[in-house]
Structure 1
Amino acid sequence: MCEENLKNRTIKGFGWNFLDNVLNRGISFVVGIVLARLISPSEYGLIGIVLIFIAVFNSIVESGLGTALIRKNDCTEDDYNTVFHTNLILSVILFFVFYVCSPLIADFFNEPQLNLLGKVMGCVLIINALSIIQNTILLKKLDFKGKMFISMGSSLTSGVIGITMAYKGYAIWSLVGQQISRQGVYTLLLWIYNHWLPKLVFSWKSFKELFGFGSKLLAAGIIDTTWNQIYQVVIGKFYAPATLGYYTKANEFGSIFSSNLTSVVQSVSFPALSKIQDDLIRLKRGYQKVIKTTMLITFTLMLGMAAVAEPMIRVLIGDKWLPCVPFLQIVCFQMFLYPLHAINLSLLQVRGRSDLFLKIQILKKFIAVIPILLGIFVGIYWMLIGSVITGITAYYINAYYSKPLLNYSISEQVKDILPSFAVSLCMAMSVYSISYLPVKPIIVLCIQIGVGAILQITLCEIFRLSEYLELKSIVLNAIKTQLKLSAILS
């Protein structure tokens, strides 16, 4: 595939995937705001506990085989069928494990409701397993347009179900209904759209080949997901359910930008860059562009969110959620390097070094013990601040091990992203100062957003940041293309 064609497909894929996340996360965000006004922080905390185990079990169900399929350029029907049956069998086994363990989970957290909640929510594992191959097929084809409409359909449907149940007084079960219906509708629409049907075929040859790469990603995924959920476990066990609810909501707000942007970049860049994995010059150039443009967006949004946290929480979900403001501000600093972590780790996958991927994840978890101990023995704020420091340390570990694979050093990466950070920090500090205005929160928030946007664009124009100019060029070209198309159609 020629470079220009791959670039165009990647840009289109990024555009559709970005639109997918904006629309669907926007829908989920609005639904979350409505539900937060109808449901108590304690009930959010209980669902947060159940989702800890769902996240860990889902990482086992996926088993790294989906990533192995995306990386493989010549997948066969045997490959697809083998992975499908493996995922499905694992999901059924884990569903029964979760079902049996639900009473033990309820006893551990001293919350009787968790017994029934866990048994019902466990069905998400099987539903998710049915979607993995269908989703992989779309990613390999870079068909993010189709994926966008599928995601939007599931988000709208589940949002209506969740809000309707909440208004009818189902409280915590409205969150359960939203979670299950979202994954269910998403899976159903994938099957309808793809027209791919599994066959009763299982190839040990395919399994050994794909699992050889995917097994290490499986182990790394389990370790990473488990440790990411440990914070919720500590909060759920040693603090009140409402505290976990505040932390869960802060994470939800923080993930709107950082995690979702990372998901967009990874899902587009990984299959695209996998196609040029043997051309190191093009690969490095591609990774530099991805890192610089991604981090400009991330720094802008995450530092900006930290600056507007208090009026945003007051306006969107009410004063009863104000205790989550400091959580959110710390989470923003914790998450703003997340895309950089993921991009460096993605390089290891593109280059086929899943063994090194696993080694790094294990090493980082030893460091991550420190903030967890702080949360148990000192306090929740010390745990979150410690996670920011360990996150910076973890980035250096990721970059250190990825350097030999692409000759892209830590100093080069820092040099590439430092201008974006400096500009975004200046913007965020200016925006935060506006929060002291003695006016209504909604007016403060509107002023902060307007000033922040104008100031960030102005600073980027003054300093002529290359990543900003790249994004500006892509957006202007997209607008011109759309205008030409509209003119032709009219």
Structure 2
Amino acid sequence: MHDKQQLRSGFIWSAIDSFGNQAIGLVISLILANFLGPSVYGLIAMLAIFIAIANVFVNSGFGTALIRKIDRNQSDFATTFYFSLAVAVICYLLLYIIAPYISDFYNQPELTYLTRVLGLIIVINTFTIIPRVLLTVKLNFKAQAMCNITSLICSGTMALSLAYLDYGVWALVGQQMTSAFINTIMLNIVAPWRPQMVFCKKSFKELFGFGSKLLLSGLLDTIYNNAYSVIIGKQYSAAQLGFFNQANILSSTPAMTLTAIIQKVTYPMLSNLQDDTKKLDEAYLLTLQFSAIVIFPVMFGVCIIAKPLIAVLLGAEWQGSAELISIITMALVLYPIHAINLNMLQVKGRSDLFLKLEIIKKLMMTVMLIITVPLGIKAMCYGMVITSYLALFVNTYYTGKLSSITAVKQLTTLLPIGIVTLISAEIGYEIGLQVNGNAMQIATILTTSLIVYLAAMLLFQRPLLIRLKKVVFV
């Protein structure tokens, strides 16, 4: 069992890891974006789906299965490593072979070499799986934070140097390769592990029984999350894909970063409570409330400052991303609720339901894409919003079947927080419109919204805030 001190330390270092990486990464990305422009980012975005799919196969849900398994042993670790390494090598060879076809599909000749070089990351990352599991199980996010931030700084320096020397898209390739290589070395130093057993069929069968459903779920999720980039890259120019990709990154980074911090710490904690239904449900509901209190205002904030933010950070060349950000953030505001509901299914060991949910949601997304693709990129983004809200009902329905946290209970618990956030954002936005200058407008909107939000939360949600304070800080 993890005590409160471990939990608090986990949150702190997980936050440092995620925020440190995102802050440093954002600064580097913004500088590179000004150097390289939308077209270069569009080229890398075209390859994202292929690298992401390969990574899903390499992990195969085994990492999650290992964290969940209480009686894990060296045989489990060795089996996971050998299987992942074999899959990584196969995936890389396939990418190497199909690289020219990827290039022909997008009509971008340079993608052949880019694919073959970037594909090496798949094999390199295999050597981080077991060290990450070992550190996560111990809630040792301090070591992971140090490794991630160090690799990010080194890879960022490499990318900026290559961009300055006019290497174009290879600056982004060099960044990703350097990051993967340094991160792998450091993780294996702080959490050294060597296979002490051979591949075990029994371990494989047990881990794959749980992980295979997560593999299929992750595969579906990855394909559909990158479907937008594939369609836009094929139908439109690399620059337009660059606009969409930058908008998607800037919109998703806050939600995914904050959710990852919460999930990274609470998943092992909730896994330890899997046999105590009452405590599990209480911890789960509190996790949902905490996520909403933190993430809702952040996402609404990004939505209402998108236009002046792009003007300040990236300039006129990137204004095509601003409106897309405002739309996509309204889809991703529910991301933590989706993720935490799915977390419950994993904690309960119901990876079969996890897969079923993904199939249902992807069918919904397919219908939405068929409707919106002919209408343009903006319509596709609105389709993301509609799909996200429809998916909320699906996710919460199955959680209610496995616990006392029904869809209605989640809605009545989270809706007041959402209403307070919406009203605060609207007040801040209207006041901000009266101010001239992009930087001053951003400062006015965010400051006003935050003051109104905090005052309203203290007035209407004081008991919840007091309870969260006791759990997290005392």
Q: TM-score range by the shorter chain?
A: over 0.9
Residue number in structure 1 paired with 2:349: 352
Q: Does 1:365 align with 2:369?
A: no
**CA–CA distance in 1 between the matches of 2:373 and 2:109?**
23
Letter in 2 for 1:43: V
Residue number in structure 1 paired with 2:76: 79
For normalisation by structure 2, the TM-score amounts to: 0.97
**CA–CA distance in 2 between the matches of 1:88 and 1:466?**
50
Q: CA deviation at 1:369?
A: 0.7
Q: Does 1:93 align with 2:101?
A: no
| SS of 1:135 mapped into structure 2 | helix
Q: CA deviation at 1:285?
A: 0.3
Q: Does 1:13 align with 2:27?
A: no
| SS of 1:127 mapped into structure 2 | helix
Q: CA deviation at 1:39?
A: 0.8
Please give the per-residue CA displacement for 1:121-177, whole angstroms capped at 9, x wherever unaligned: 000100111111111111111111111111111111111111111111111111111
Match for residue 45 of structure 1 among 35, 42, 46:
42
Please give the per-residue CA displacement for 1:367-425, whole angstroms capped at 9, x wherever unaligned: 11122213432211111111111111111111111112112111100111112111111
Match for residue 34 of structure 1 among 31, 35, 57:
31
Residue number in structure 2 paired with 1:338: 335
Give yes or no for contact 1:293–1:467 (8 Å, CA) kept in 2.
Answer: no
Match for residue 62 of structure 1 among 59, 64, 86:
59
| SS of 2:79 mapped into structure 1 | helix
Give yes or no for contact 2:310–2:322 (8 Å, CA) kept in 1.
Answer: yes
Letter in 1 for 2:449: G
Q: 1:340 to 1:80 in 2, by over 3 A?
A: same
Q: Does 1:148 align with 2:142?
A: no
Q: CA deviation at 1:318?
A: 1.2
Q: Which runs of 5+ in 1 are unaligned?
A: 478-490
**CA–CA distance in 2 between the matches of 1:158 and 1:217?**
31
After superposing the two structures, state which structure 1 stretch, 254-263 or 78-87, moved more.
Answer: 254-263
| SS of 1:352 mapped into structure 2 | coil
**CA–CA distance in 2 between the matches of 1:216 and 1:313?**
40
Match for residue 221 of structure 2 among 220, 224, 238:
224
| SS of 2:54 mapped into structure 1 | helix
Residue number in structure 2 paired with 1:166: 163
| SS of 2:108 mapped into structure 1 | coil
Q: State, as a whole percentage, how many aligned pairs show the same letter.
A: 38
Q: CA deviation at 1:448?
A: 2.0
Give yes or no for contact 1:39–1:171 (8 Å, CA) kept in 2.
Answer: yes
**CA–CA distance in 1 between the matches of 2:70 and 2:246?**
40
Give yes or no for contact 1:42–1:242 (8 Å, CA) kept in 2.
Answer: yes
Q: 1:113 to 1:465 in 2, by over 3 A?
A: farther
**CA–CA distance in 1 between the matches of 2:464 and 2:371?**
38
Please give the per-residue CA displacement for 1:330-388, whole angstroms capped at 9, x wherever unaligned: 11011111111111111111001111111111111111112221343221111111111
Runs in 1 of length 4+ with deviation above 4 angstroms? 470-477
**CA–CA distance in 2 between the matches of 1:318 and 1:466?**
44
Q: CA deviation at 1:467?
A: 4.2
Q: 1:201 to 1:476 in 2, by over 3 A?
A: closer
Give yes or no for contact 2:124–2:184 (8 Å, CA) kept in 1.
Answer: yes
Give yes or no for contact 1:234–1:372 (8 Å, CA) kept in 2.
Answer: no
Please give the per-residue CA displacement for 1:241-295, whole angstroms capped at 9, x wherever unaligned: 1111011111111122111112112111111100010100000000011000101
Residue number in structure 2 paired with 1:485: none
Give yes or no for contact 1:304–1:431 (8 Å, CA) kept in 2.
Answer: no
**CA–CA distance in 2 between the matches of 1:471 and 1:303?**
22
Q: CA deviation at 1:311?
A: 0.9
| SS of 2:166 mapped into structure 1 | coil
Q: Which runs of 5+ in 2 are unaligned?
A: none
Q: Does 1:404 align with 2:378?
A: no
Q: 1:66 to 1:461 in 2, by over 3 A?
A: same
| SS of 1:112 mapped into structure 2 | coil
Give yes or no for contact 2:92–2:119 (8 Å, CA) kept in 1.
Answer: yes
Give yes or no for contact 2:13–2:141 (8 Å, CA) kept in 1.
Answer: yes
Q: 1:172 to 1:474 in 2, by over 3 A?
A: farther
Letter in 1 for 2:363: F
**CA–CA distance in 2 between the matches of 1:476 and 1:382?**
44
After superposing the two structures, state which structure 1 stretch, 196-205 or 347-356, moved more.
Answer: 196-205
Please give the per-residue CA displacement for 1:181-207, whole angstroms capped at 9, x wherever unaligned: 112111111001012122461111111
Q: CA deviation at 1:179?
A: 1.1
Q: 1:402 to 1:438 in 2, by over 3 A?
A: closer
| SS of 1:402 mapped into structure 2 | helix
**CA–CA distance in 1 between the matches of 2:132 and 2:428?**
40
Residue number in structure 2 paired with 1:481: none
Residue number in structure 2 paired with 1:454: 451
Residue number in structure 1 paired with 2:311: 314
For normalisation by structure 1, the TM-score amounts to: 0.94
Q: Does 1:211 align with 2:208?
A: yes
**CA–CA distance in 1 between the matches of 2:284 and 2:209?**
26
**CA–CA distance in 2 between the matches of 1:170 and 1:373?**
38
Give yes or no for contact 2:130–2:193 (8 Å, CA) kept in 1.
Answer: no
Give yes or no for contact 1:371–1:384 (8 Å, CA) kept in 2.
Answer: no
| SS of 2:3 mapped into structure 1 | helix
Please give the per-residue CA displacement for 1:429-453, whole angstroms capped at 9, x wherever unaligned: 1222244335221121122222222
Give yes or no for contact 1:63–1:215 (8 Å, CA) kept in 2.
Answer: yes
Residue number in structure 2 paired with 1:284: 281
Letter in 2 for 1:295: A
Residue number in structure 1 paired with 2:192: 195
**CA–CA distance in 2 between the matches of 1:81 and 1:450?**
51
Q: Does 1:391 align with 2:384?
A: no
Letter in 2 for 1:189: M
Give yes or no for contact 1:424–1:456 (8 Å, CA) kept in 2.
Answer: yes
Give yes or no for contact 2:432–2:444 (8 Å, CA) kept in 1.
Answer: no
Give yes or no for contact 2:147–2:183 (8 Å, CA) kept in 1.
Answer: yes
After superposing the two structures, state which structure 1 stretch, 379-388 or 367-376, moved more.
Answer: 367-376
Residue number in structure 1 paired with 2:256: 259
